[in-house]
Structure 1
């Protein structure tokens, strides 16, 4: 209920309505989704890179490793990793949109609205999840005729896992954009410097079992390694495998840390 105050003349007036974080977050998410709904081709176009990986890198894996891959099926091993790649690439670059809004003044106009500062970040992150799930669904449907086997329950849990990871990475990306807003070129330097080592050390593209000891040790410290392993287990229908638990734990910690840092940075934004 809104607060009621008395004016000097004795008449009752209604104070400003109490804000709702859920309502504010929904408003921000709807605002961010509107351009995507008006131009859905942008979502499809962003799938060109992962489709090239599937079309060109997948046959190389089958020809060179074949049955040496865990599980013996190249698509069951590689497609879940590509879905994680989509989450990693898409979520890590969303801070560039915030940088553009800061350059045009749109971000400052959002800051002076009564919306909660935390909703400005959470709403944006949730928008990216909608896009991510749509892209993942397209990739899975495209690969079904090529022999990729779909386990519906595992696939749904896999999408949930990707959503949790995407929230964390998006939040880190927004925090980075806010930190380097006066030197926006630094965003791409940091993003690229972190992105590729994390991707390679996750075992996303090649198995790491035959790699040197130092590489396997770094892989064990990489949260993305556990998410990739969990996605492969879930899309294989192995819902109770230990990697699934570790994957959700790694994604959950990433999301919690990313949200904490991102919300703190947004609240301090000016």
Structure 2
């Protein structure tokens, strides 16, 4: 008489260690970056849009705002970089939402990797793309006549933008997790980003605005970021705006990182 053989259930894998989790994150970051080779359009949004904004703002508004395109370029490049960097965080939200809708995260979750690695890999890859976008804008700005105060200031401005974009990415991750589809992600993202970027010191002097609007602009975290980057790039008081920007970045991350992580764990 044949006897049935019972196979003991496989024990669940233990928790992934910190070093292994970092290795998984690095691998998935590279995976997201390598996709650009097969789908160059992923980088086009972060290449064409900044060039278009820089040229339009400089040559359409420059003469009216500052009397010359060169003077306005010196003033506005920091603001255009900030606007582009913050809007680029929407790509993180859209990409995460799309991956979840397509079941990519379900396939990744079946692998013996850290559960946070797909999320961290996406955010890290998008920050890398942002650095490319900022360097592209700085290169074009130099070609158009922009003159920074020094190399150290340029490096500091790029680093500060990356730190703030990382904090804002968690807000966008939350948007990507709670929105039903990519279209709603973009709608919610624009509702957040447009008021923050345009009601700031990015494109015009705060003193030219109505008094009631100035009260908001002065406490807007984007104003602190723009003022800090402008000071690093072309000179001016640095310490106050940089400290305020870092405090805002820390506050945004403290609020939205746990909310984004909880929403991610529920969706994935």
Q: Same fold (TM over 0.5)?
A: yes
What is the aligned counterpart of 1:90 among 88, 91, 116?
88
- Structure 1 contact 117–263 (Cα < 8 Å) conserved: no
Q: Partner residue of 2:49?
A: 49
Runs of 4+ in 1 over 6 A off after TM superposition: none
- Aligned equivalents of 1:17, 1:189: Cα separation in 2: 37
How far 1:40 sits from its partner (Å)?
Answer: 4.4
TM-score in terms of structure 2 length: 0.83
1:106 aligns to 2:83 (yes or no): no
Q: Partner residue of 2:3?
A: none
Moved more, 158-167 or 91-100: 91-100
Q: Partner residue of 1:130?
A: 128
Structure 1 unpaired stretches of 5+: 1-14
- Aligned equivalents of 1:115, 1:215: Cα separation in 2: 49
Query: Could you give the per-residue CA deviations for residues 183-220 of structure 1, whole angstroms, max 9, x where no partner exists?
Result: 55432321121121111112222222221122112223
Q: Partner residue of 1:264?
A: 262
Q: Partner residue of 1:200?
A: 198
Query: Could you give the per-residue CA deviations for residues 71-94 of structure 1, whole angstroms, max 9, x where no partner exists?
Result: x93222111111111211111232
Moved more, 122-131 or 93-102: 93-102
Moved more, 123-132 or 111-120: 111-120
What is the aligned counterpart of 2:213 among 197, 212, 215?
215
Q: Is the alpha carbon distance of 1:104 and 1:216 closer, same or farther for their aligned partners in structure 2, counting shifts above 3 Å?
A: same
Q: Superposition pairs for residues 32-43 of structure 1, below 5 Å?
A: 32-40=32-40, 42-43=42-43
How far 1:232 sits from its partner (Å)?
Answer: 0.5
- Aligned equivalents of 2:138, 2:41: Cα separation in 1: 18
What SS class does the counterpart of residue 117 from structure 1 fall into? coil
Query: Could you give the per-residue CA deviations for residues 126-166 of structure 1, whole angstroms, max 9, x where no partner exists?
Result: 11111001111111111112221132111111111111122
How far 1:114 sits from its partner (Å)?
Answer: 3.0
How far 1:47 sits from its partner (Å)?
Answer: 2.7
- Aligned equivalents of 2:194, 2:97: Cα separation in 1: 22
Q: Is the alpha carbon distance of 1:48 and 1:24 closer, same or farther for their aligned partners in structure 2, counting shifts above 3 Å?
A: same
Q: Partner residue of 1:28?
A: 28
- Aligned equivalents of 2:37, 2:206: Cα separation in 1: 40
- Structure 2 contact 24–117 (Cα < 8 Å) conserved: yes
Query: Could you give the per-residue CA deviations for residues 84-141 of structure 1, whole angstroms, max 9, x where no partner exists?
Result: 1121111123211122212221122223333333333222111111100111111111
- Structure 1 contact 223–250 (Cα < 8 Å) conserved: yes
Q: Partner residue of 1:187?
A: 185
For these two proteins, the number of residue pairs brought into alignment is 253
Q: Partner residue of 1:162?
A: 161
- Structure 2 contact 16–114 (Cα < 8 Å) conserved: no
- Structure 2 contact 92–172 (Cα < 8 Å) conserved: yes
- Aligned equivalents of 1:267, 1:176: Cα separation in 2: 14
TM-score in terms of structure 1 length: 0.83
- Aligned equivalents of 1:67, 1:43: Cα separation in 2: 34
Query: Could you give the per-residue CA deviations for residues 224-265 of structure 1, whole angstroms, max 9, x where no partner exists?
Result: 111111110111144744212222222333334333322222
- Structure 1 contact 28–124 (Cα < 8 Å) conserved: yes
- Aligned equivalents of 2:26, 2:33: Cα separation in 1: 10
- Aligned equivalents of 2:163, 2:49: Cα separation in 1: 22
